[in-house]
């Protein structure tokens, strides 16, 4: 019978222990990454909703001053028509790599308008759940996708 010396300790990790750790980290990553990506998509959508609400506020003020809605976003004080925004809601140049939504006006008449936020670049591919979001002069909100909680 062979006796081992109790003073000798094993140092480091063996291969099985290392593979178990790698497998656990892989499983956690596989679960967490899709949730993280969805959170980023939702955050960018929130920025577009915020800008749509700002456009609606400016349209109401324009209507009070002029008795008609503005047909062009530059009449509301924005730098471009359509307005292109980054993920934090700031205005960026059309074609900018940071652009995530394009805001435009349609169906503009004396007493009506529809503001639309259409996703761009990566947001277009990732946000098929909600797609383009619209807001009209009466506050009606809709989206082109099948999502039911896009405005929450």
What CATH number does residue 45 fall under?
3.30.540
Residue 42 inside a domain? The answer is yes
- pLDDT at residue 1 is higher than 60: no
Phi-psi region of 113 (alpha: psi -120 to 50; beta: other; left: phi over 0): beta
Residue 9 inside a domain? The answer is no
Say what percent of the chain tops pLDDT 90: 47
The CA distance from 106 to 71, in Å, is: 8
How many domains does one find in the chain?
1
For 15-42, how does the pLDDT look when each residue is reduced to its tens digit (9 = 90+)?
888 899 999 999 988 888 888 888 888 8
- Six-digit token string for 2: 């062979």
Global pTM exceeds 0.95 = no
CA 16 vs CA 13, 21, 128, 138: distances in Å: 8, 9, 42, 64
Range of the domain at 36: 15-143
pLDDT: which is higher, 67 or 1: 67
Residue 8 inside a domain? The answer is no
- pLDDT at residue 139 is higher than 80: yes
Residue 1 inside a domain? The answer is no
Residue 7 inside a domain? The answer is no
The CA distance from 104 to 52, in Å, is: 9
Residue 148 inside a domain? The answer is no
Residue 108 inside a domain? The answer is yes
pLDDT: which is higher, 129 or 11: 129
């Amino acid at each position: 019978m062979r006796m081992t010396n109790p003073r000798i300790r094993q140092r480091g990790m063996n291969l099985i222990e290392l593979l178990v750790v790698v497998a656990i980290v892989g499983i956690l990553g596989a679960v967490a990454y899709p949730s993280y990506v969805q959170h980023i998509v939702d955050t960018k959508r929130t920025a577009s909703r915020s800008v749509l609400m700002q456009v609606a506020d400016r349209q109401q003020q324009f209507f009070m001053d002029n008795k008609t809605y503005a047909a062009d976003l530059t009449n509301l004080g924005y730098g471009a028509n359509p307005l292109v925004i980054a993920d934090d809601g700031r205005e960026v140049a059309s074609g900018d790599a940071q652009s995530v939504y394009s805001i435009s006006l349609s169906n503009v008449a004396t007493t009506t308008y529809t503001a639309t936020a259409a996703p761009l670049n990566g947001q277009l591919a990732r946000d098929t759940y909600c797609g383009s979001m619209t807001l009209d002069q009466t506050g009606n909100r809709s989206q082109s996708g099948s999502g039911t909680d896009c405005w929450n």
